Copies of this chain bind each other. A is one copy, B any other.
Amino acid sequence: MSTFGRIFRVSTYGESHCKSVGCIVDGCPPGLNLTEDDIQPQLSRRRPGQSSISTPRNEKDKVQIQSGTENGVTLGTPIGMLVLNEDHRPKDYSETDLYPRPSHADWTYMQKYGVKASSGGGRSSARETIGRVAAGAIAEKVLKKANNVEIVAFVSSIGEIEMDRNPRSDKFQEILQTVTKESVDSVGPVRCPDPTVRDEMVKLIEKYRDSKDSIGGVVTCVVRNCPIGLGEPCFDKLEANLAHAMLSLPATKGFEFGSGFLGTKIPGSKHNDPFIFDEQNKRLRTRTNNSGGVQGGISNGENIYFSVAFKSAATISQAQETATYDGNDGVLAARGRHDPSVTPRAVPIVEAMAALVIVDNLLLQKAREYGASIVN
């Protein structure tokens, strides 16, 4: 399905080589100041062509609001948005028609639909994420207003070069507490806030660029100031919604939150987050945060943090031995120059999906809280 969310919902359309890509955001609160200027920055952060370590295609990606605002203020009605497809250069892909690209969506799309887009990977194209990022920018603005919610993602590993993501590391928790979009962007295109590994990451990407190969990485995201009580028990635990959102992104292979896979190795007596009294807010909080800000599927007011694995990009600038659609062995020649690591560009996309999950759960929880308030 091409719709995500329950109360704050986004529906997207578009693939690589059609007239435009876009989305409808349904359920955005009325009265919000909103113009294209609120949305463009995240789209620009998503755009390729920003440095020597990313692909030089210059997609302009100017968003146009079609509906749902008047005089720069939202009406409460659906917000239609679109971005024209300009620099698609379909010929670059045209000789690949004989071959389904390995580990790309070409063959499964062909099997599922029985038709094939002339080039590009249909909806599995990264361009599909434009609608998500546009919607996410609105969600982030709402969340900022709601509770000063801050959502920041960053690169935490490229290939074997990894930041320490141990939840019990003070340094890691400090980064989660202080990192900003600005600080992430200020350190260059690799978007890693940890100076001890950043240069190695850049070198590794350059190495794969030079060898016409690609390398994956991990994006970690933190949500600060998330209100307490978001998430529904059972099938719609907050982490389940986040996992759904993140694994719906192209090229993702995994998701973990809080202590994650490492949490399987820390015994319960050390993994449990004891409660302490928070004098400032006059409420309980936890001394440690192995839980990643969610307990029993419900946010507890601590930083929510999670990580998303992005595989090494399937589209590489070297020839590959593989079979044609017809079943003949052959060599798929390389075409064009491709981004050796899409992971840094995924940063705003991860933020967008996180924002969509949080805002939808926030609005839902407010319906719940109202219900509780009137029956008591």
- CB pair A102–B318 under 8 Å, yes or no, is no
Known: A321-B274, A372-B114. A15 touches B253 (CB 8 A): no
Complex-state Cα separation, A100 to B267, whole angstroms? 19
Alpha-carbon separation in the docked complex, A69 to B19 (Å):
10
- What is the distance, in angstroms, from A59's C-beta to the closest C-beta of chain B? 16
In the bound assembly, the distance between CA atoms of A136 and B30 in angstroms comes to 29
Query: Which A-B residue pairs are the 8 nearest by beta carbons?
Result: A105-B296, A29-B371, A254-B256, A214-B268, A216-B264, A13-B80, A244-B244, A277-B327
19 more A-B residue pairs beyond the given contacts A103-B271, A103-B273, with a C-beta to C-beta distance below 8 A: A2-B26, A3-B9, A7-B368, A13-B68, A15-B77, A18-B69, A31-B115, A77-B123, A103-B268, A108-B298, A112-B228, A124-B296, A208-B268, A216-B264, A218-B261, A243-B243, A243-B247, A254-B261, A275-B323
- Is the beta-carbon distance between A316 and B364 smaller than 8 angstroms? no
A193 at the interface (CB under 8 A from B): no
Contact A78 B268, CB 8 Å, known A103-B273, A371-B29:
no
Return chain B residues, CB-CB under 8 Å to A105.
Answer: 233, 295-298
* The residue from B146, B275, B311, B314 contacting A107, defined by CB atoms under 8 A apart: B275
Determine if A140 is an interface residue (Cβ-Cβ < 8 Å).
Answer: no
Which of chain B's residues have a CB closer than 8 A to the CB of A294?
A: 108
6 contacts between A and B (CB under 8 A): A22-B80, A75-B117, A104-B295, A124-B233, A243-B247, A367-B370
* Inter-chain contact B375/A370, CB cutoff 8 Å: no
Query: Secondary structure of the A side of the interface?
Result: mixed
Q: Does A42 contact B (CB under 8 A)?
A: no
Q: A108-B228, A264-B217 are in contact. Are A113 and B372 (CB under 8 A)?
A: yes
With an 8 A cutoff between CB atoms, is A151 at the interface?
Answer: no
Number of this chain's copies in the assembly equals 4
B366/A113 in contact, CB under 8 A: no
Q: By the criterion CB–CB under 8 Å, are B259 and A253 in contact?
A: yes
* The residue from B4, B114, B241, B312 contacting A376, defined by CB atoms under 8 A apart: B114
A257 CB–B CB distance under 8 Å: yes
CB-defined contacts of A82 to chain B, threshold 8 Å: 66, 80, 82
Other-chain residue from B102, B229, B311 in contact with A275 (beta carbon distance below 8 A): B102
Contacting residue for A247 out of B240, B269, B320, B372, CB 8 A: B240
Give Cα A66–Cα B374 distance, bound, in whole angstroms.
24
A299 at the A/B interface (Cβ < 8 Å)? yes
Q: Which of A187-243 contact B (CB under 8 A)?
A: 208, 211, 213-218, 228-229, 231-237, 239-243
Q: Residue A68 contacts which of B18, B71, B327 (CB distance < 8 angstroms)?
A: B18
Q: Give the residues in chain B near A58, CB-CB below 8 Å.
A: none
